[in-house]
A and B are shown apart, each in its own frame.
Chain A
Amino acid sequence: MMNLVLIEWLKLKGLRTFKVILILYAVLLPLFFYSLSGIPLFKYFYSDVIYAFPKVYHYVTYISSFFNLILGVIIILFTCNEIKYKTQRQNMIDGLSKREMILSKFYVILLMSIVVTLYAFLVAFCFGMSTNSTEYFEGVRYIGFYFISTFGYFIFAFFLANLLKNSSLTIVIYLLSSFIESIIGMGLVSKEFSQFLPLNTFSNLIPMPIIPDGFEYMMTEIQRASLGFGYGLCFVVIAYIILSRRDV
């Protein structure tokens, strides 16, 4: 396993897009969160709430989840590059199996989700510490949900990249996919049904924090988290099936 991770790390660290997107995320997340204090609504009604424990975890992860789509682009480019440069083919010629090809990217996705989640935790924790609140780990479950949500989006991006192979097409479909899912779910079946669909499941893990939710979730938080994780694993398996049936 370490060997596969090391191989992927060598490939990733030379990729400029990877560094740029990660740095953008790292800089923009705390700045954006801080800038909320300048918006009148927050300033007058919520400012003592959003930066304090326990709410800070929910707010930070909610804002951070906007970046999931952009971070997913790293996964798409990274995966499609291997197809475009035929290095996926070369890696296999050199001795990797199709299972290892999928596993090595799975490890990257897992590690990237962990890193992004830890960073979101760090940001939330620092903002929380700057207030007078002391319930340090109250509401920290949102960090766990955020991890599953991020992992889900990344795996979905990886699955799409394997399916479509072309990076620009994949990015467009990826950005539109929540929209497409809503049309399928709400438009064709019902709003109740659509909450069970994968992308909705990932995004419902961190619901909108301000507006009191009028929507009735038919699942508990834990059920949603389990379903989200299950969807993530399904996407890996499907990606493996796609690759194993393909001539590379």
Chain B
Amino acid sequence: MEKTILKIEGLSKNYKNVNAVQDLSFDVKEKMVYGILGPNGSGKTTTLGMLLGVIRPKKGSFSWFENGMIDANRKRIGALLETPNFYPYLTAEQNLKIVALIKEIKDAPKEIDRVLKLVSLYERRTSKFKTFSLGMKQRLAIASVLLGDPEVLVLDEPTNGLDPQGIAEIRDLIIHIGQQGKTIIIASHILDEIEKVCSHCVILKNGQLIRTGTIGEIIGNENDVLIKVASLDLVKLNAFILQHKDIGLFKELSGKLVLRIENSLNPTTLNQLFFDNGIVLSELSIYNETLESQFLEIIKKS
């Protein structure tokens, strides 16, 4: 059994009349790349803020490394919350030096050089933070997260403000770090990002947990083959599907149907089956469900 890195139990926070986070509970095990998904204002940042000791929970508790809520836990976590926060009048190097001192990182100068090279800011290490572009600021924040090679990374919108090339670079970096066996918790509303990077995820809406599981479970096509079909005679098609136990309706998609079929069937036999029963298909294709479309549906339903 893998070690539990983070255990959250009944965490709640409200601001005046707004319930930002309500009775949230979930666990993150070692080596998971865990996504926290949700629309704007769903409580992602508030949740991370509580886990990182800057927002006081109203109720509930959490425990890092099975070690409770003590402040020293955070020295073992590399975290980026919302915007990159640095001293504008200090250089990139000086800013990281402060972080290294707080985290009590050994061999700091070497470590600072390493992370600056990782995010391609080494050449600009003696420039003041205030002279950096938005993308460079974000990259410095990533460097700061990686400083000291922490056991756990907590990232809130890590690709915010980056250009497409920067987004791809940071994403590859996160995937690479995840493959090294680090635990990563990543909050984002960019679903593509979560789908590409994460193994597990939790979906929040209005501060409440509405789904949790592996990415495969949430998308729902882990074991089944999905086929998109269309026919001129939709009524007949629908009626046939309802009768047939090996075919299930996964969802409707603008006049077309996405079907879940049992292992006994494949596109060829399915086409034959329909044809034999007097249904002529105008379209038949393998359908790949994306996290994005599933997410939108889950959010709409709940």
Q: A10-B94, A10-B97 are in contact. Are A95 and B89 (CB under 8 A)?
A: no
Contact with B along A70-112 (1 / 0, CB 8 A): 0000000000010001110111111111001000000000000
Identify A94's interface contact among B83, B87, B88, B102, CB under 8 A.
B102
Complex CA gap A93/B99 in Å reads 10
Interface of A is mostly: helix
Asked if B98 and A7 sit within 8 Å, CB to CB, the answer is yes
Q: A10-B94, A93-B81, A247-B54 are in contact. Are A3 and B101 (CB under 8 A)?
A: yes
Interface locus among A11-19, A30-38, A120-128: A11-19
Q: B101: which A residues are within 8 A, CB to CB?
A: 3, 6-7, 10
Asked if B56 and A247 sit within 8 Å, CB to CB, the answer is yes
Asked if B97 and A85 sit within 8 Å, CB to CB, the answer is no
Q: Does B131 have its Cβ within 8 Å of any Cβ on chain A?
A: no
Interface centre among A6, A15, A85 (most CB of B within 10 A): A85
Q: Does A219 have its Cβ within 8 Å of any Cβ on chain B?
A: no
Q: A94-B74, A248-B54 are in contact. Are A14 and B90 (CB under 8 A)?
A: yes
Interface centre among B74, B102, B104 (most CB of A within 10 A): B102
Complex CA gap A14/B97 in Å reads 13
Name the 10 nearest CB pairs between A and B, nearest first: A95-B75, A97-B71, A90-B85, A86-B85, A95-B74, A94-B102, A247-B55, A14-B90, A93-B52, A7-B101
Which chain B residue has the least Cβ–Cβ distance from A94?
B102
Which chain A residue has the least Cβ–Cβ distance from B97?
A10
Interface residues of B in 181-210 (CB under 8 A from A): none
20 further contact pairs, Cβ within 8 A, besides A3-B104, A7-B101, A14-B89: A6-B101, A10-B98, A11-B87, A14-B87, A14-B90, A14-B94, A85-B86, A87-B86, A89-B81, A89-B85, A92-B52, A92-B74, A93-B52, A93-B53, A93-B54, A93-B81, A94-B74, A95-B71, A95-B74, A95-B102
Complex CA gap A247/B94 in Å reads 27
For the complex formed, measure the closest distance between the CB of A92 and the CB atoms of chain B, giving whole angstroms: 5
- A contact set with B: CB distance below 8 Å: 3, 6-7, 10-11, 14-16, 81, 85-87, 89-97, 100, 245, 247-248
Identify A85's interface contact among B71, B85, B94, B102, CB under 8 A.
B85
For chain B, the count of residues having a C-beta within 8 Å of the partner chain is 29
Q: B94: which A residues are within 8 A, CB to CB?
A: 10, 14
Q: A10-B101, A95-B71, A96-B102 are in contact. Are A90 and B53 (CB under 8 A)?
A: no
Some 26 contacts from A to B, beta carbons below 8 A apart, are A7-B102, A10-B90, A10-B98, A11-B87, A11-B90, A14-B87, A15-B89, A85-B87, A85-B88, A86-B83, A86-B85, A87-B85, A89-B81, A90-B85, A90-B86, A92-B52, A92-B54, A92-B74, A93-B52, A93-B53, A96-B71, A100-B71, A245-B56, A247-B54, A248-B54, A248-B55
For the complex formed, measure the closest distance between the CB of B98 and the CB atoms of chain A, giving whole angstroms: 5
Asked if B97 and A94 sit within 8 Å, CB to CB, the answer is no
Q: B81: which A residues are within 8 A, CB to CB?
A: 89, 93
Q: B87: which A residues are within 8 A, CB to CB?
A: 11, 14, 81, 85, 87
For the complex formed, measure the closest distance between the CB of B161 and the CB atoms of chain A, giving whole angstroms: 16
Q: Does B72 have its Cβ within 8 Å of any Cβ on chain A?
A: yes
For the complex formed, measure the closest distance between the CB of A125 and the CB atoms of chain B, giving whole angstroms: 35
Which chain A residue has the least Cβ–Cβ distance from B55?
A247
Interface centre among A81, A93, A247 (most CB of B within 10 A): A93
Q: Does B227 have its Cβ within 8 Å of any Cβ on chain A?
A: no
Which chain B residue has the least Cβ–Cβ distance from A104?
B102
Complex CA gap A87/B85 in Å reads 6
Which chain A residue has the least Cβ–Cβ distance from B147?
A94
Complex CA gap A91/B207 in Å reads 26
Which chain B residue has the least Cβ–Cβ distance from A81?
B87
Complex CA gap A3/B85 in Å reads 21
Complex CA gap A206/B114 in Å reads 54
Q: Does B49 have its Cβ within 8 Å of any Cβ on chain A?
A: yes
Q: B29: which A residues are within 8 A, CB to CB?
A: none
Asked if A94 and B99 sit within 8 Å, CB to CB, the answer is yes
